[in-house]
């Protein structure tokens, strides 16, 4: 009996291993594409995104990584549709992206990258509001100081700084200090300037106030890059 039980257990492990390997073979390439979208800022043609989406949609009970990949693919597809002037298709893709991100977070609530992506998606769908704040707050609770997450969420955070609830506003200010730490790579200060410039006057004023309280080096780099951005915009307006 014991040898039979051991044999059956070994067979079960072997079958499970085979299923796992088959699943990795089937979805591994798509998940790798999603990571390139997330981490390296890669761009893929719409046909490739569609193929990856269709591959993942064949999974009967998708796991968090697969659902997360779906979210990033739909998000990227929405960008393509919106850039092409197809607002309706863009909205449909954003809806699909939000649904996939929520399902992934239900399985893996510590995925701060997906929480930030969901916050961005909800902002694009409906503007600032509770759904955006809730998703962004989850990213702060699960990854308060991870630099790559901070770099991803600072753009949205600064767009919200004028309307964010007090607790969320405090977290956004915390991200400003993380990127504006003294003796950090200058690229961090430039990233902060670019995000503030896009977000508008309230964001610029907030960053200037916070950096002005500390070491002069981050403030100087920030102001230099901000001046360059303003000059570029003035030049573009002057040529029109």
What is the rounded distance in angstroms from the CA atom of residue 230 to the CA atom of residue 193? 11
pLDDT at 39: 82
Global pTM?
A: 0.86
Q: Which residue positions in the chain have pLDDT lower than 50?
A: 1-19, 21
Predicted confidence at residue 33, as pLDDT, reads 84
Query: In this predicted structure, what is the pLDDT of residue 26?
Result: 60
Q: Measuring CA to CA, how many Å separate 106 from each of 5, 70, 88, 138, 139?
A: 36, 14, 27, 12, 14
* Domain residue extents for the chain: 146-240
Express each pLDDT in 75-134 by its tens digit: 999 999 999 999 999 999 999 999 999 999 999 999 999 999 999 999 999 999 999 999
So what's the pLDDT on residue 95?
98
Q: How far apart are the first and last CA of the chain?
A: 85
The label of the residue with tokens 């570029």 reads 232
Q: How confident is the model at residue 36, as a pLDDT?
A: 86
Alpha carbons 171 and 168: distance in angstroms, whole number: 5
Residue 240: predicted pLDDT = 59
Q: What DSSP character marks residue 84?
A: T
């Amino acid at each position: 009996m014991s040898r039979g039980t051991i044999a059956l257990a070994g067979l079960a492990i072997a079958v499970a291993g085979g299923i796992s390997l088959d699943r990795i073979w089937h979805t591994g390439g798509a998940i790798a594409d999603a990571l390139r979208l997330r981490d390296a800022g890669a761009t893929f043609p719409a046909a490739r995104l569609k193929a990856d989406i269709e591959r993942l949609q064949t999974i009967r009970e998708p796991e968090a990584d697969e659902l997360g990949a779906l979210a990033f693919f739909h998000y990227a597809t929405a960008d393509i549709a919106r850039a092409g002037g197809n607002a309706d298709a863009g909205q449909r893709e954003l809806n699909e992206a939000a649904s996939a991100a929520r399902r992934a977070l239900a399985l893996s609530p510590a995925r701060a990258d997906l929480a930030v992506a969901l916050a961005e998606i909800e902002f694009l769908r409906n503007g600032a509001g509770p759904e955006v704040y809730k998703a962004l707050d989850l990213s702060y609770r699960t990854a308060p100081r991870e630099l790559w997450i901070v770099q991803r969420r600072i753009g949205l955070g600064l767009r919200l700084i004028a309307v964010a609830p007090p607790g969320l506003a405090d977290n956004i200010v915390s991200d400003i200090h993380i990127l504006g730490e003294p003796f950090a790579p200058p690229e961090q200060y430039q990233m902060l300037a670019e995000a503030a410039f896009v977000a508008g006057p309230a964001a610029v004023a907030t960053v200037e106030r916070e950096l002005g309280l500390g070491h002069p080096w981050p403030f100087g780099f920030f102001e230099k890059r901000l001046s360059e951005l303003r000059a570029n915009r003035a030049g573009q307006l002057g040529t029109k």
